[in-house]
Structure 1
Amino acid sequence: MSDSETGLPDSFKLTRARKLAGTVAQVLRTEGVEDFQTTACDELDLIFEGIPGDRHSGFTRLSGGREPWYPRGTEMVNERQISILSVEELAEIAKLMELEDLKPEWIGANIVIEGLPRLTLIPPRTRLVFEGGAVIRVDGDNAPCRVAGRAIAENVPGRGGLDLLFPQKARRLRGLVGFVEKPGVIKAGEGMTAHIPEQWIYDPGA
Structure 2
Amino acid sequence: MTLPMFPDLAPALPEIVPARLIKGEVTAVLAALGGDFPTGDVAELTLGYDGIEGDYHAGSTRKSGGREPWYPRGTEIRNERQVSIVAEDELAIAASAMGIERIEPGWIGANLVIAGIPLLSMLPPRTQLFFEGGVTLRIDGDNAPCRIAGAMIARNYPDMDQTSLALHFVKAAKRRRGIVAWVEKPGLIRKGEKITAHIWEQWIYPAG
Residue 89 of structure 2 aligns with which residue?
A: 88
Residue 183 of structure 2 aligns with which residue?
A: 180
After superposing the two structures, state which structure 1 stretch, 167-176 or 8-17, moved more.
8-17
Give the root-mean-square deviation of aligned CA atoms: 1.2
Residue 131 of structure 1 aligns with which residue?
A: 132
Gaps in structure 1 of 5+ consecutive residues: 1-7
Deviations 1:57-86 (A, max 9, x none): 000000000000000000000000000001
C-alpha contact 2:45 2:53 (8 A) present in aligned 1: no
Post-superposition shift, 1:165?
0.5
**CA–CA distance in structure 2, aligned partners of residues 156 and 195 of structure 1:** 38
1:192 aligns with 2:195: yes
Residue 22 of structure 1 aligns with which residue?
A: 24
Gaps in structure 2 of 5+ consecutive residues: 1-9
**CA–CA distance in structure 1, aligned partners of residues 46 and 124 of structure 2:** 25
Residue 79 of structure 1 aligns with which residue?
A: 80
Residue 114 of structure 1 aligns with which residue?
A: 115
**CA–CA distance in structure 2, aligned partners of residues 171 and 93 of structure 1:** 8
Post-superposition shift, 1:9?
5.0
TM-score for both structures, normalised by structure 2:
0.92
Structure (1 or 2) with the larger CA radius of gyration: 2
The SS at the match of 2:155 is helix
Identity of aligned residues (%): 55
Residue 157 of structure 2 aligns with which residue?
A: 156
**CA–CA distance in structure 2, aligned partners of residues 104 and 149 of structure 1:** 12
Amino acid at match of 1:146: R
Post-superposition shift, 1:157?
1.4
Residue 171 of structure 2 aligns with which residue?
A: 168
**CA–CA distance in structure 2, aligned partners of residues 15 and 157 of structure 1:** 46
Post-superposition shift, 1:10?
3.1
